[in-house]
Structure 1
């Protein structure tokens, strides 16, 4: 009986300590955003700023290289929205084809898709850059956004597994009622895979929002830079880096991410674990 009484506090103490260890870096980032830049690393062992520098947020929002941080956020939102729409819709179309249609070479193309899922992204960077340079897409968001409209292997695989849980009898009943393939997709399948679509949308949002490699490769004008590049510009190897402003804007850049997570967190688990049958 004593053992059972001890289990509860021990478990919660352990979980609380683990949660604190995971949250501590974000807490340190938040507190450091209120410190003087030259004191951030000198007083890294102390969380409480002495003194509190609220100007970091004002200076950071004014921006750098003639661009306000609000402009960087708008650029990121443009990339994220366009890329997410393309990635989710194209992946849903492709997944529907693999899950519900029979066509020549279906097994072969599915295997190719799975191979691209396991292929490291770094392998295709040079061929992609050469291709985009030849078609004059450099210094625009096209190389970052348009490839998303050709399907994302991870999303395709996720949606295939979700669609396969939907009974084929629904397709047969819709076909008897006169539904063609496109109408079947939009009227029957798509409404039933909303949790999986939401999950794919959340992942796409996170991946595009934090992406730094794509903007570094393809964007050369500060007016086109997203948040990731805007934060990087606060660091200068030749002069003094403005760590306070960068940390302040890092906190600001977390707000959309946290808002999306808390608004749609239930879909992350539901889209992966539940079936499509309602």
Structure 2
């Protein structure tokens, strides 16, 4: 017994290591969020003092940047928020429905060429978006969809996000196959099994899909830039870009609207965080 006590590390040493680790993590966390905090403080300063003060000091603060930035463009900034909300909501619904249906087919049903189609779907994850943007532009131009929200939303109805399909497949594989057999005995067909049995069980995976769809779509700058030319249809990232002017950028208004554009992402993540953690932590577990 005395030998075991002698070999045990001192409690004071363990406590010191824990304190040092917490201090290091706090410093790293502060370094990561410092740019965001600085941008927030800069949105409350005059343009002349933004780049002359790199501190987070609370002095000479003003809310004029928010008032000026809200009405600085051709339309009020609320117009761009509405556009982003419309596109993002449509993409979330399309991804959740289409990707879950596709995942259900791959995970719980048998059909010809299933391994081949599965491999092709996974290969699309490695295909850069920039490779397909030109054919998409030509196709949407022939369909007359340019300068509308259709190129940003309609393709999602065909489960084009292979990452979400794979995520839901892995989640479904962790659900016992006996549940499907019991549903079939009760008279449920494939779609009834999907709607009544599978959807309630894969809620964490669907929530993860919705959260990532929201963040990626809300922050998307490239695709709206390609397909939208009318100022009235611009999303929030394009509207923020309008503040950048070679002749003289209104940095205060730019930072103010950038902060406002982050609020929906922050709220969406906070309220869906527990579902996101459950969806990622339990994906692939048997």
TM-score (norm 1): 0.95
Q: Indicate whether 1:8 and 2:23 are aligned.
A: no
Q: 2:70 is matched with which residue?
A: 61
Q: 1:22 is matched with which residue?
A: 32
Query: Unaligned stretches of 5+ in structure 1?
Result: none
Distance in 1, Cα, partners of 2:28 & 2:204: 30
Aligned length: 274
Alignment equivalent of 2:204, drawn from 195, 202, 208: 195
Instruction: Tell me by how many angstroms 1:122 deviates.
Output: 1.1
Q: 1:97 is matched with which residue?
A: 105
Say if 2:98 and 2:158, in contact at 8 Å, map to a contact too: yes
Q: 2:51 is matched with which residue?
A: 41
Distance in 2, Cα, partners of 1:50 & 1:133: 52
TM-score (norm 2): 0.93
Distance in 1, Cα, partners of 2:188 & 2:87: 35
Say if 2:167 and 2:283, in contact at 8 Å, map to a contact too: no
Q: 2:4 is matched with which residue?
A: none
Q: 1:109 is matched with which residue?
A: 117
Distance in 1, Cα, partners of 2:173 & 2:22: 40
Q: 1:32 is matched with which residue?
A: 42
Q: 1:121 is matched with which residue?
A: 129
Q: 1:159 is matched with which residue?
A: 168
Q: Indicate whether 1:135 and 2:143 are aligned.
A: yes
3-state SS of the aligned residue for 1:197? helix
Instruction: Tell me by how many angstroms 1:42 deviates.
Output: 2.8
Distance in 1, Cα, partners of 2:52 & 2:119: 53
Structure 1 stretches of at least 4 aligned residues deviating more than 6 Å after TM superposition: none
Q: 2:189 is matched with which residue?
A: 180
Alignment equivalent of 2:92, drawn from 71, 84, 88: 84
Say if 2:80 and 2:236, in contact at 8 Å, map to a contact too: yes
Distance in 2, Cα, partners of 1:42 & 1:212: 29
Distance in 1, Cα, partners of 2:47 & 2:115: 57
After superposition, the C-alpha distances for 1:176-211 in whole angstroms (9 at most, x for unaligned) are: 000011100000011100000000000000000000
Larger radius of gyration: 2
Q: 2:229 is matched with which residue?
A: 220
Distance in 2, Cα, partners of 1:216 & 1:53: 32
